[in-house]
Structure 1
Amino acid sequence: MPIYSYEKAGKEHYYYAFEVKDRLGKRKTIKKKGFKTKTEARNAERIAKVEWEKGQYVDPTKITVQDYMLDWIGKKKDLSIESRETNMGHLKNHIFPSLGHLPLQKVLVTDIEDFILAMEEKGLAQGTVKKIFCLVQNAFKAAIRKELLLKNPFDLLDPSSKPKEGKPKVDYWSKDEVQTFFSRLDHRLSIMFVLAIYTGMRRGEILGLRFSDIDFENSMISIRQTLKPRKRIKDGGKNANASRSIPLSEFVVAELKKQRTMITKEKWDAKENYHNNDLVVCHPDGEPVSLGNFHKFWVRILNNTNMRHIRFHDLRHTFASLMLSAGVHAKVVQEIMGHSSIKVTLDMYSHLIPSMQRSAVNVLDDILQKAK
């Protein structure tokens, strides 16, 4: 079939049109406009014919953002289970309410601006807004490559309108708050909080820790697995740097031995009903602690101890802040925490640097003054 031309806004444009028969033998015309050159139209027509013959043809003008993104996410092969679940949550809660109903080919720059504003008005963290924005932006880039779009509205967005990557939220308890917390804490799983504050381990690392990962003789923990949502155990740490060894203080070793004694008794009491996963932190029957209700569990702990509310993850920040404030080198803190580089550690805890510099100056002052 030939390529046809038409005039729009005083300029010549092109479209293709070809006839097909459906499974019932009924004729229909496949047609698409909007091409700037004959070559574009001809190439698009060729693809449309192939897709029709394969039985996969979908009229591009009728594809909504929701339908397209579900198909795009579903076909991505480089996503972990957790990333896929996170992305699906973003689609359902933030993307589809704003953009899902719109035809993919008719999304305007103003629609994207409204989408960004809607996320910001929800009070989402800057980093979260940025991640969701990039998810949609990448989907539209893929639509260009698949020739479902001629123009990407994200390319027309004013750079000043794009969400900026904010610094991660960092809160932590002071030394006095930590001491108060432990003086009030009375819980079967107290070891969880000991590990978070004294080692800087991540939540999933703590909940996935096994007694076989602990070298009691040399006072070391090896991060070999983590607990993921739906009680799924993942080998290794969060990333390559997360699989590491962590030195333990005498206090932490003693607390781990107490936990081992308690678990041994529970295992004996439960007998054949015990699920032996070798976990340090688990239910009395040996089952892993669920991540689904973890936030509510943590809030109950805070309320019961009458402590200032911070996130459980902030106990990791508490470890870092106490170590750095005590003069421990940032490289050591980085290695214990499993950050990808020392730059990550310094950027995250830059608010502590002025006081550290002041302490360093005072130390030098003391050394030189005493030398007189």
Structure 2
Amino acid sequence: MLVQDFLNNWVSTYGKYNLKVTTSNEYIRHINQYVNPRIGLIEIENLKPLQLQNLYYELLDSGRQRGDLTKPLNAKTVLQTHRILHKAFKNAVQLELINSNPADAVDLPKKKKYNYNILLGQDLKDFIESFKGTHIYNGVMLALLLGLRRGELLALQYKDINLTEHDVIINKSVVNGKGFIKLDTTKNDSSNRIIALSDDMMKFLKVIKDNALNNSEESFIIQNIRGEMYNPASFSRLYTWTRDNRNLPKVRFHDLRHIHATILYQNGIKAKVIQERLGHSNISTTLDIYTHLFKEDQVAAAEIISDKIFY
């Protein structure tokens, strides 16, 4: 069996029953773009770690397929390709197609930590103000107020708002399929959560509802111009186009989630509460992402200890 035959079969069977639609599509893209053209014609029982290692080096050097092709492929993309192959070949071992997993014995590139573009204070207020009057404004505001992932935001319906308890339940996400969009489960079990809302947030949601094209309980809070569920890709394109057309700072839509967390932490909210609000599966994820914030606490801790011991 050729590597490409195994991988194509694996992602169409294992992926169908074990992966979310968006994850399965990502696996297919990585396999088709990065793997099959390079090692797809090797017989799977003959695949060696060296060939995988060379695949990763080649991807780092010349694997880029969009944008500036002279730039190397991001190490994060290569690492994701490795994770996919490691999972696939692990299954191949279980099925007794190969004796060992060749992905176990390769050196991996180090992922560069993404530098989030964080706006605070007046810079953030100016950024928000620039979106007023645009179709994307409500989405920007709710992303900042609630710290939601894009899919979670677009899946919000009026029935998810608890008017009595002043909170909102997050229990679904909008995902892109091949030529369609649909409601799916959230990223993981921890992503199912209830987020408290302030009085001002409740008033803002009421304004959105009063001005919505469709405002039944089943309607989506962030809806397209037809009053329907938003395509996540279309939503992101509109956000980016609006941002760039107005010459605003290059803040990714996902950065709004990090701005939300940064504001909370800088105003004394504990990391555990931030974790629960963001829907991270464990506290280590939150601590890892916001290491730059916790370093400030380390300095403060050193000063406190120093004061108590030396003085």
Q: TM-score, normalised by structure 1?
A: 0.70
Q: Show the 5 A alignment for 1:1-372.
A: 63-76=1-14, 77-121=17-61, 122=64, 123-150=72-99, 152-155=101-104, 157-158=105-106, 161-164=107-110, 167=113, 170-186=116-132, 187-229=134-176, 230-235=180-185, 237-263=186-212, 266-267=213-214, 277-358=218-299
CA distance in structure 1 between the partners assigned to 2:26 and 2:97 by the alignment: 26
Cα displacement string for residues 236-261 of structure 1 (whole angstroms, at most 9, x for unaligned residues): x3211111111223332222111101
CA distance in structure 1 between the partners assigned to 2:292 and 2:273 by the alignment: 18
Amino acid at match of 1:181: F
CA distance in structure 2 between the partners assigned to 1:365 and 1:154 by the alignment: 48
Q: CA deviation at 1:150?
A: 4.9
Amino acid at match of 1:78: N
**Residues 120 and 220 of structure 1: is their aligned pair in 2 closer, same or farther, counting only changes over 3 Å?**
same
**Residues 247 and 360 of structure 1: is their aligned pair in 2 closer, same or farther, counting only changes over 3 Å?**
farther
CA distance in structure 2 between the partners assigned to 1:216 and 1:306 by the alignment: 38
* Higher RCO (Cα < 8 Å, 6 or more apart): 2
Q: CA deviation at 1:64?
A: 1.8
CA distance in structure 1 between the partners assigned to 2:187 and 2:92 by the alignment: 31
CA distance in structure 1 between the partners assigned to 2:225 and 2:29 by the alignment: 32
CA distance in structure 2 between the partners assigned to 1:364 and 1:149 by the alignment: 57
CA contact (8 A) 1:327 1:356 kept: no
CA distance in structure 2 between the partners assigned to 1:143 and 1:365 by the alignment: 56
Q: Who wins on radius of gyration, i.e. which is larger? A: 1
Cα displacement string for residues 105-141 of structure 1 (whole angstroms, at most 9, x for unaligned residues): 3334332122111232334443432221122233333
Q: CA deviation at 1:318?
A: 0.7
**Residues 330 and 148 of structure 1: is their aligned pair in 2 closer, same or farther, counting only changes over 3 Å?**
closer
Aligned to 1:10: none
CA distance in structure 1 between the partners assigned to 2:27 and 2:198 by the alignment: 39
CA distance in structure 1 between the partners assigned to 2:5 and 2:257 by the alignment: 40
Q: TM-score, normalised by structure 2?
A: 0.83
CA distance in structure 2 between the partners assigned to 1:142 and 1:338 by the alignment: 30
CA contact (8 A) 1:213 1:222 kept: yes
**Residues 168 and 241 of structure 1: is their aligned pair in 2 closer, same or farther, counting only changes over 3 Å?**
farther
CA distance in structure 2 between the partners assigned to 1:344 and 1:337 by the alignment: 10
Aligned to 2:68: none
CA distance in structure 2 between the partners assigned to 1:257 and 1:110 by the alignment: 60
CA distance in structure 2 between the partners assigned to 1:231 and 1:322 by the alignment: 32
CA distance in structure 2 between the partners assigned to 1:291 and 1:207 by the alignment: 7
Structure number with the higher strand fraction is 1
CA distance in structure 2 between the partners assigned to 1:339 and 1:364 by the alignment: 31
CA contact (8 A) 2:117 2:250 kept: no
User: Gaps (5+ residues) in structure 2?
Assistant: 65-71
Cα displacement string for residues 43-94 of structure 1 (whole angstroms, at most 9, x for unaligned residues): xxxxxxxxxxxxxxxxxxxx32111211122221322222221111111111
Amino acid at match of 2:6: Y
Q: CA deviation at 1:217?
A: 4.1
CA distance in structure 2 between the partners assigned to 1:191 and 1:71 by the alignment: 42
Amino acid at match of 1:74: S
**Residues 128 and 169 of structure 1: is their aligned pair in 2 closer, same or farther, counting only changes over 3 Å?**
farther
CA RMSD after TM alignment: 2.9
**Residues 111 and 196 of structure 1: is their aligned pair in 2 closer, same or farther, counting only changes over 3 Å?**
same
**Residues 301 and 152 of structure 1: is their aligned pair in 2 closer, same or farther, counting only changes over 3 Å?**
same
CA distance in structure 2 between the partners assigned to 1:151 and 1:234 by the alignment: 35
Runs of 4+ aligned structure 1 residues displaced above 6 Å come to 360-366
